[in-house]
């Protein structure tokens, strides 16, 4: 999705001081035209219905529906998440929903402008910490096909807990534990708990010498 120059930008953030400061800084940039701002989702929807927008700067904390907003808006404009929340999973979830960049609020305006330029050229921009987290996650998937819940169950089983004990610890039914274990055995091509424990130690789900206390 190409953005015309000057890029028409809308700021959506529930902190008035941050919006005002960001708007003042962006208006010093020749490539930017700030065409609107919103502090609530309903305001944002109303503005976007009436105002052409190339790039939306969206705070994840705007409202609880922000990820749904990204999914709906990403087909119409370029969405850049500008957030104080630096939790990698939250940021990457925004990218999965359709955001083209994530910029942390502690970064300088130069970093935001770099992200805007990269996104306007059709690419994706992520801070180095998120890039490293993403690469680590891809490596993890490559060597470990288990879901987070499956890993959790494997850890408890490998430490010696019985199915009923695992179920009680995780607040799920014993049948659910059995179903997860069957899926794990099929994914990994293993036959019993001994092999499962060896696998858990090999990939670091438990320490090599870790045992149930």
In a domain, 211, yes or no: no
Do 181 and 149 form a contact (C-beta atoms < 8 A)?
Answer: no
**Together in a domain, 118 and 62:** yes
Q: Which two tokens stand for residue 7?
A: 């890029």
How many structural domains is the chain composed of? Answer: 2
CATH number reported for the structural domain that contains residue 106 in this entry: 3.40.50.2300
| pLDDT above 70: residue 150 | yes
Do 9 and 53 form a contact (C-beta atoms < 8 A)?
Answer: yes
- Quote the CA–CA distance of 185 and 196 in Å, as a whole number: 8
Residue 209, pLDDT score: 53
Residue 86, pLDDT score: 85
Which pLDDT band, with edges at 50, 70 and 90, does 137 fall under?
low
**Together in a domain, 31 and 129:** yes
CATH number reported for the structural domain that contains residue 171 in this entry: 1.10.10.10
Mean pLDDT value across residues 158-180? 92
Residue 188, pLDDT score: 85
Mean pLDDT value across residues 157-179? 92
Residue 69, pLDDT score: 75
**Together in a domain, 11 and 102:** yes
Which pLDDT band, with edges at 50, 70 and 90, does 213 fall under?
very low
Residue 211, pLDDT score: 52
**Together in a domain, 77 and 154:** no
Range of the domain at 169: 144-203
**Together in a domain, 70 and 152:** no
Helix (H, G, I), strand (E, B) or coil at 83: strand
Mean pLDDT value across residues 27-54? 93
**Together in a domain, 54 and 130:** yes
Tens digits of residue pLDDT in 174-199: 999 999 999 999 888 888 888 888 88
Decide which of 96, 120, 136 is a domain's last residue.
Answer: 136
**Together in a domain, 92 and 169:** no
- Quote the CA–CA distance of 120 and 184 in Å, as a whole number: 43
| pLDDT above 60: residue 33 | yes
């Amino acid at each position: 999705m190409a953005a015309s120059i000057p890029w028409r930008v809308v700021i959506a953030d529930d902190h008035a001081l941050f919006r005002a400061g960001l708007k003042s800084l962006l208006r010093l940039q020749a490539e930017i035209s700030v065409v609107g701002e919103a502090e609530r989702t309903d305001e944002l929807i109303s503005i976007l219905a009436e105002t052409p927008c190339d790039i939306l700067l969206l705070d994840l904390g705007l409202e609880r529906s922000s990820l749904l907003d990204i999914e709906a808006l990403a087909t119409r404009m370029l969405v850049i998440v500008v957030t104080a929340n630096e939790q990698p999973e939250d940021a990457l979830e925004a990218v999965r929903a359709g955001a083209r960049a994530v910029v942390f609020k502690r970064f300088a305006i130069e970093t935001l402008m770099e992200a805007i330029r990269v996104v306007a050229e059709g690419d994706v921009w992520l801070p180095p910490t998120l890039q490293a987290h993403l690469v680590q996650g891809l490596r993890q998937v490559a060597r470990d096909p288990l879901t987070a819940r499956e890993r959790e169950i494997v850890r408890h089983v490998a430490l010696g807990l019985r199915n009923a004990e695992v179920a009680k610890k995780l607040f799920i039914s014993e049948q659910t534990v059995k179903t997860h274990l069957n899926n794990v055995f099929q994914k990994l091509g293993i036959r019993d708990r001994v092999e499962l424990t060896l696998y858990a130690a090999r990939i670091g789900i438990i320490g090599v010498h870790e045992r149930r206390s």
